[in-house]
Amino acid sequence: MGRGEWTRRLAAGAAAAGLLHLCLAQRAAAADAAASWYDPQRVGAPLVVLLVFSALVLYFIHASRRGRALYIRRIAGIQAIEEAVGRATELGRKVLYLTGAGSIDDNQTIASLAVLRHVAGLTARYAVDLDVPGRDPLAFSAARETVQEAYLQAGRPDLFRSDTVHYVTYDQFAYTAAVTGIMVREKPAANFLIGAFQAESLLLAETGQSTGAIQIAGTAEVTQLPFFAVVCDYTLMGEELYAAGAYLSNEPAMLGSIKGQDFTKAVLILVILVGVLLEILGVHAIKDFMAIAG
Partner 1 sequence: MFWKLRLPLALTFIVGLVPIVTFFLSTQAPVIGPAVQFARDRVERYMVIIAGFALLLGVVSVVQGSVRKIERRRPGWPFAASLLAGLVVMGAFGILSAMRVGPFQGLLTAPDGGMTPFFWMTRNLFNPLQAAMFSLLAFYIASAAFRAFRVRNVEATILLIAAFIVMAGRTPLGEYAFGWLPGGERWLPAVTDWIMTVPNAAAQRGVIIGAALGAASLSLRVILGIERSYLGTTEK
Window 63-102: residues binding partner 1 (CB under 8 A): none
> Which one among 5, 9, 16, 36 touches partner 1, defined by CB under 8 A?
36
Binding to partner 1 by residue 265, rule CB under 8 A? yes
CA 102 from centre of chain: 12
Residues 154-193 that bind partner 1 (CB under 8 A): 162-163, 166-174, 176-177, 181, 185
Q: Quick check: 67 and 6 in contact, CB under 8 A?
A: no
Binding to partner 1 by residue 22, rule CB under 8 A? no
Please identify, among the stretches 74-82, 89-97, 235-243, 274-282, the one whose residues bind partner 1 according to the rule CB under 8 A: 235-243
Q: Closest separation between CB of residue 97 and partner 1, Å?
A: 14
Alpha helices in 92-136 (DSSP H): 107-126
Residues 118-157 that bind partner 1 (CB under 8 A): 134, 136-138, 140-142, 145-146, 148-149, 153
Cα Rg, the chain, nearest whole Å: 22
Nearest to 121 by CA among 208, 235, 248: 248
> Which one among 110, 159, 278, 290 touches partner 1, defined by CB under 8 A?
110
How do strand 95-100 and strand 130-134 relate by DSSP bridges?
parallel
Nearest to 132 by CA among 75, 178, 86: 178
Q: Closest separation between CB of residue 216 and partner 1, Å?
A: 17
> Which one among 18, 102, 208, 260 touches partner 1, defined by CB under 8 A?
260
Neighbours of 60 (CB within 10 A): 25
Nearest to 234 by CA among 215, 220, 219: 215
Binding to partner 1 by residue 42, rule CB under 8 A? yes
- Order across the sheet with 214-219: list the strands: 165-167, 130-134, 95-100, 190-196, 214-219, 234-237
Q: How far apart are CA 199 and CA 135, in angstroms?
A: 14
Nearer to partner 1 (CB atom), residue 127 or residue 174: 174
Please identify, among the stretches 75-83, 86-94, 187-195, 202-210, the one whose residues bind partner 1 according to the rule CB under 8 A: 202-210
Binding to partner 1 by residue 47, rule CB under 8 A? yes
Binding to partner 1 by residue 54, rule CB under 8 A? yes
Q: Closest separation between CB of residue 33 and partner 1, Å?
A: 8
